[in-house]
Structure 1
Amino acid sequence: MKFDLHTHHERCGHAVDTIRDYVEAGIKHGLQVIGISDHSPFFARKEDHAEPYIAMAKSEFSNYVEEVLRLKETYKNKIEVLLGVESDFFPEHADVYRAVYDKYPFDYIIGSVHQTNGVSIFNKNRWKGLSEAEKVAVKETYYDQIRQSAQSGMFQILGHIDAMKGFYPSFSSIQTKAVEDTLKMIGECGLAIEINTSGNTKDCGGWYPSDDILELALHYGVEVTFGSDAHKPSRVGDEWEQVNKRLKEIGYREWVFFRQKQKVVVPL
């Protein structure tokens, strides 16, 4: 069974085309299951549309949900459409986000850390002039936030857990036990992590997470899922076969997706 749980669309302001276009792309690329998971609004901000080029407006969120549910019904005989969302995780605002999500029938929620200390994880300038000790501190703050997201109970999947390497490939070589401690916690909490192939569109030129993290994840019993993180329909299902093959080489025998927040196990 071929699936892709991480796709976006035009509402977030930095992806193109409609949800229907992504569903049609899923059919074209041989998927049986496609999850729609656009960026959640900044629910804790006062503005309706706090970041027009990062996430959708709060006033659009119910429209987003309704559209996905409508397409779920429209395409039910061609492809299974799942209702998801990629949620930012801000520990201080977790209850605000949780209260909104509880109103809707999500199949799954992806928890992703996109900012630490108010700075985007993709901002390469944040590394300029830092000592080695300061770089370790930045990485440990990032993984502490991911660890808190795992413990929050809000998510079924954690998104791109080493995406900080996206525009700073040296991130991967910063040594800290925080990565292993985080994977252990994710395993204890029973969440899945995604293999996200959008890393190949960034400077790091590889999937999120790297093979060494996947090997540690397997050791700690962390389950995995697949997400292209497509921001254009042509990337739906991108490199699914290669990921499937690599996971088997690492030692995985299955991966998962979620329907009504219940795990569905798929053999590799």
Structure 2
Amino acid sequence: MKFDLHTHHDRCGHARGGIRDYIEAGIEKGLNIIGISDHTPYFSSKEDHPFPHITMATSQFPEYVKEVLKLKQEYSGKIDVLLGIEADFFPEHVEKYRPHFDRYPFDYIIGSVHHVDGVSIFKAERWEGLSSKEQIRTKESYYSLIEQSARSGMYQILGHIDAMKGFYPEFSNIQTAAVEHTLKVIAECDVAIEINTSGKTKYVGGWYPADDILEMALHHGVKVTFGSDAHDPERVGDEFEIVQARLKQIGFKDWVYFNERKRYAVKL
């Protein structure tokens, strides 16, 4: 069973190609399942499209769902197309997002933290001049948000849980017990984490999360899944077999995918 649950397309304003292009790429790569999971609109904003290069417009959301469901039917028998979405986690706006997800037949929702203290996690300059105590506080704030996202009950998958290292590789060396504590909470809340191979497109290289986090995740019983986080059809399914082999080495026996928000385990 070969799958990729994290793909984007041109509605978000920073990906290349339409949904059909990603589905066709999935077929070409031999996938059995492809999940379409573009960025949600900013449902908390009064503007329809406040950030056209980050997310789709709120008015585009119903047509996004409609297109995925149409293509799901069209490609039935060739590849299973799943309706997903990647949602930013803003604790103060959870109840503004939840009704939009309850309205449609999503197979899964990926919850991702992209901002800490109002600043993008991918902004390398945010670390300039910080003392080690301030660095620890920033990392702990990041994992506090991930912990809250797990507790929200809104997501089946948590996205790229150490992506803050993307443009600041030293992030991984900031020592704090918050990472393991967050993994314990994720396990208690029975939410999966993804192995996301888009780290190779950032300074850090490799994927999210790092092996030491995956080892802790296994120890605490956290379920794992796979997502390329492709913003280009060429990256669909990227490094699936390499991740699969590494998970086996770490000691995982299976990984999971979701259909109609139900979790299914697949042997590695």
Q: How does 1:55-134 map to 2 (within 5 A)?
A: 55-134=55-134
Letter in 2 for 1:85: I
Unaligned residue ranges in structure 2 (runs of 5+): none
**Residue 49 (structure 1) aligns with:** 49
**Residue 251 (structure 2) aligns with:** 251
State how far apart, in whole Å, the 2-side matches of 1:239 and 1:170 are.
24
State how far apart, in whole Å, the 2-side matches of 1:66 and 1:266 are.
28
TM-score (norm 2): 1.00
Query: Are 1:15 and 2:15 counterparts?
Result: yes
State how far apart, in whole Å, the 2-side matches of 1:60 and 1:115 are.
23
CA RMSD of aligned residues (A): 0.4
Listed one character per residue, the Cα deviations across residues 140-199 of structure 1 (whole Å, up to 9, x for unaligned) are 000000000000000000000000000000000000000000000000000100000000
Letter in 2 for 1:83: L
Query: Are 1:232 and 2:229 counterparts?
Result: no
State how far apart, in whole Å, the 1-side matches of 2:265 and 2:50 are.
37
Listed one character per residue, the Cα deviations across residues 25-59 of structure 1 (whole Å, up to 9, x for unaligned) are 00000000000000000000111001111110000
**Residue 147 (structure 2) aligns with:** 147
For residue 194 of structure 1, give the secondary structure of its aligned residue in structure 2.
Answer: strand
> Which 4+ runs in 1 deviate beyond 6 A?
none
Question: What displacement does 1:77 show?
Answer: 1.1
Letter in 2 for 1:161: I
**Residue 36 (structure 1) aligns with:** 36
**Residue 135 (structure 2) aligns with:** 135
For residue 252 of structure 2, give the secondary structure of its aligned residue in structure 1.
Answer: coil
State how far apart, in whole Å, the 2-side matches of 1:242 and 1:140 are.
30
TM-score (norm 1): 1.00
Listed one character per residue, the Cα deviations across residues 215-234 of structure 1 (whole Å, up to 9, x for unaligned) are 00000100000000000000
| Percent of residue pairs identical | 66
- Give the paired residue count: 268
**Residue 180 (structure 2) aligns with:** 180
State how far apart, in whole Å, the 1-side matches of 2:96 and 2:240 are.
35
**Residue 171 (structure 1) aligns with:** 171
State how far apart, in whole Å, the 2-side matches of 1:211 and 1:16 are.
30
Unaligned residue ranges in structure 1 (runs of 5+): none
Query: Are 1:242 and 2:239 counterparts?
Result: no
State how far apart, in whole Å, the 2-side matches of 1:117 and 1:65 are.
31
Question: What displacement does 1:116 show?
Answer: 1.0
State how far apart, in whole Å, the 2-side matches of 1:59 and 1:118 are.
25
Question: What displacement does 1:115 show?
Answer: 0.4
State how far apart, in whole Å, the 2-side matches of 1:41 and 1:256 are.
27
**Residue 260 (structure 1) aligns with:** 260
Question: What displacement does 1:213 show?
Answer: 0.1
Question: What displacement does 1:200 show?
Answer: 0.7
For residue 199 of structure 1, give the secondary structure of its aligned residue in structure 2.
Answer: helix
